[in-house]
């Protein structure tokens, strides 16, 4: 019957026998058959080794004794444990510790023979590192590893280190004496320099105070000048702002006046349209109706005469004289019809003339105003067919480009009232000014000499048409 054996994490259990490879268990358990298996324990804890080498000669031939401390343990890999088991199973702890100790002492002696006394004493870490580096491969062949290696003490039986200390002490004392003398000399020099720097600093401070006072006065004067300039600029800006505000108010008043005038013109146009519709209803329509009635009566009489003449001609023809009589009667009927139609047109023209006379000069103005857009369109029509216009300024201050072209078209349209006045004797502009509504507006508003120039109003009214 098998026995279960357990091991802790600080030792390894090696089970051998049974015709199989040895089994290594670390920090676990395994079954051991007493007849077939054999179990052995291998410590994995750290072993502390005191590596002492006495009276070892260095590279300079100086005898020295070195005391080092090494921490050695079995490596954690299974291969290393198997190797250590082959080397140390069955041995006591003292026998196990003696093997790596002898190895480290031998390497320490070999390295001491290659170094100087100063190197060993001054750089112990370098010496320990070399021992650890050289001894690690040998210990790895035994399944061991060096955890740490340090030099604890170095002794010199021949007094070499003491001699180095005496020399160094003398050098230090010499350097101290020289340093003290140099320090006293430097102190005197520094004292004189400090006194001189103190006086220079005092003069410099007084100079800076005077310069500061002067700079303060100059800067204060500059600030006062800038403040006065800013104050003057603020006052001028305030006055300029007030002037701009007055201009804006005046501009708004002018715009309000323009809107009021536009509304009055719109009312006058509506009044003209109303009167035109009234004329259409009271005069023109009745005249056309009367003319149509007279023409209808004349046409009826003509038809009656023609019918009567035709009947008489038929009767006369039966009697042998029909043809001549029909011609005569037909001519007479046509003459009477033409006479009646002429009388009707004359009566219609008379009624229309009386209507125009009753409507007054406003009707003529209305007709002329209705034709003005057609005139403006006819003036601008050639411009619409032009692909490109090249204009050269004359230098007379009249402007160039589109503004001059627009101004020329506007002037052409503005000359139409003068042409109409020369042809008909009717002053359109004067008649518009004498319209009752516009005249009352002019009396209630500003004086004539304060109104905006007529050219600007003409430009504003004609610009959209152009």
Helix residue ranges, H only, 7-114: 78-88, 93-112
Could you give the C-alpha distances from 312 to 308, 323, 326, 335, in angstroms and in order?
A: 6, 10, 7, 18
Higher pLDDT residue, 455 or 144? 144
Distance of CA 289 to the CA centre of its chain: 77
Greater pLDDT, 185 or 433: 185
Neighbours of 457 (CB within 10 A): 14
Instruction: In whole angstroms, give the CA distance from residue 232 to residue 242.
Output: 15
Query: Quick one: how far is CA 309 from the chain centroid?
Result: 101
For a pLDDT cut of 70, what percent of the chain falls above it? Answer: 74
Q: Which residue has the tokens 């013109």?
A: 265
pLDDT value, residue 75: 86
Average pLDDT over the chain, rounded to an integer: 76
Q: 4: which strand partners?
A: 31
Q: CA-to-CA distance for 6 and 13, rounded, in angstroms?
A: 8
How far is the C-alpha of 202 from the C-alpha of 208, rounded, in Å? 10
pLDDT in tens, 224-277: 888 888 888 888 888 888 888 888 898 888 889 888 888 888 888 888 888 888
Residue 284 C-alpha from the chain's centroid: 71
| pLDDT for 278 beyond 70 | yes
pLDDT (0 to 100) of residue 308: 83
Q: What is the pLDDT of residues 385-434, one digit of tens each?
A: 666 666 655 545 555 556 666 777 777 777 777 777 776 666 767 766 66
CA atoms within 13 A on the CB side of 261: 21
What's the pLDDT score for residue 162? 64
List the domains of the chain with CATH numbers: 1-45 (no CATH), 46-158 (3.30.479.30), 363-466 (no CATH)
Q: Is this structure's pTM higher than 0.75? A: no
- State the residue for tokens 């019918």: 307
User: Average of pLDDT values for 307-327?
Assistant: 70
Q: Buried (b) or exposed (e) across 385-411, using 16+ Cβ within 10 A?
A: eeeeeeeeeeeeeeeeeeeebbeebbe
Encoding tokens for residue 185? 């000399």
Which residues fall within 8 angstroms of residue 146, CB to CB, at 6 or more apart?
A: 70, 71, 72, 132, 135, 136, 139
**What pLDDT is stored for residue 454 in this prediction?**
44
Closest to 326 in 3D by CA, of 334, 336, 335, 316:
316
Q: Say if residues 134 and 107 touch (Cβ distance below 8 Å).
A: yes
Looking at residue 334, its pLDDT comes to 75
C-alpha angle 53-58-63 in degrees, rounded to nearest 5: 65
d(CA 133, CA 145): 11
For residue range 28-43, what is the model confidence (pLDDT) as tens digits? 777 777 777 777 788 8
């Amino acid at each position: 019957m098998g026995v279960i054996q357990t091991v802790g994490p600080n030792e390894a259990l090696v089970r051998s026998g049974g015709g199989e490879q040895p089994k290594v268990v670390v920090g676990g358990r395994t079954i051991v058959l007493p007849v077939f298996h054999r179990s052995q324990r291998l410590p994995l804890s750290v072993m502390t080794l005191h590596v002492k080498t006495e009276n070892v000669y260095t590279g300079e031939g100086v005898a020295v004794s070195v005391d080092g401390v090494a921490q050695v343990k079995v490596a954690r890999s299974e291969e290393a444990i198997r190797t250590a088991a082959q080397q140390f199973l069955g041995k006591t702890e003292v026998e196990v510790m003696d093997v790596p100790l002898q190895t480290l002492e031998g390497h320490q002696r070999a390295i001491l023979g290659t170094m100087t006394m100063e190197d060993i004493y001054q750089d112990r870490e370098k010496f320990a590192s070399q021992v650890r580096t050289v001894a690690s491969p040998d210990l790895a062949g035994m399944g061991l590893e060096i955890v740490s290696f340090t030099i604890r003490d170095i002794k010199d039986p021949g007094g070499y280190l003491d001699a180095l200390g005496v020399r160094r002490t003398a050098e230090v004392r010499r350097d101290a004496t020289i340093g003290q003398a140099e320090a006293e000399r430097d102190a005197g020099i520094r004292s004189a320099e400090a006194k001189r720097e103190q006086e220079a600093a005092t003069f410099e401070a007084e100079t800076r105070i005077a310069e500061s006072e002067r700079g303060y006065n100059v800067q204060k004067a500059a600030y006062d000048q800038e403040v006065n300039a800013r104050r003057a600029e603020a006052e001028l800006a305030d006055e300029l702002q007030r002037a701009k505000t007055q201009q804006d108010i005046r501009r708004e008043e002018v715009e309000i006046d323009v809107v009021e005038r536009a509304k009055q013109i719109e009312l006058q146009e509506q009044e003209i349209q109303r009167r035109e519709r009234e004329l259409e209803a009271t005069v023109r329509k009745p005249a056309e109706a009367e003319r149509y009635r007279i023409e209808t009566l004349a046409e009826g009489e003509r038809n009656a005469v023609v019918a009567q003449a035709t009947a008489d001609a038929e009767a006369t023809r039966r009697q042998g004289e029909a043809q001549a009589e029909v011609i005569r009667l037909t001519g007479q009927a046509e003459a009477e019809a033409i006479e009646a139609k002429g009388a009707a047109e004359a009566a219609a023209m008379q009624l229309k003339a009386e209507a125009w006379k009753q409507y007054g000069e406003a009707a003529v103005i209305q007709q002329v105003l209705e034709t003005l857009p057609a005139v403006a369109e006819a003036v601008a029509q050639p411009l619409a067919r032009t692909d490109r216009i090249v204009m050269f300024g004359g230098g007379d201050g009249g402007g160039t480009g589109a503004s001059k072209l627009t101004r020329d078209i506007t002037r052409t349209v503005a000359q139409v009232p003068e042409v109409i006045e020369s042809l008909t004797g009717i002053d359109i502009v004067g008649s518009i000014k004498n319209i009752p509504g516009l005249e009352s507006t002019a009396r209630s508003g500003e004086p004539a000499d304060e109104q905006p120039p007529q050219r600007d109003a003409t430009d504003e009214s004609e610009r959209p048409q152009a």
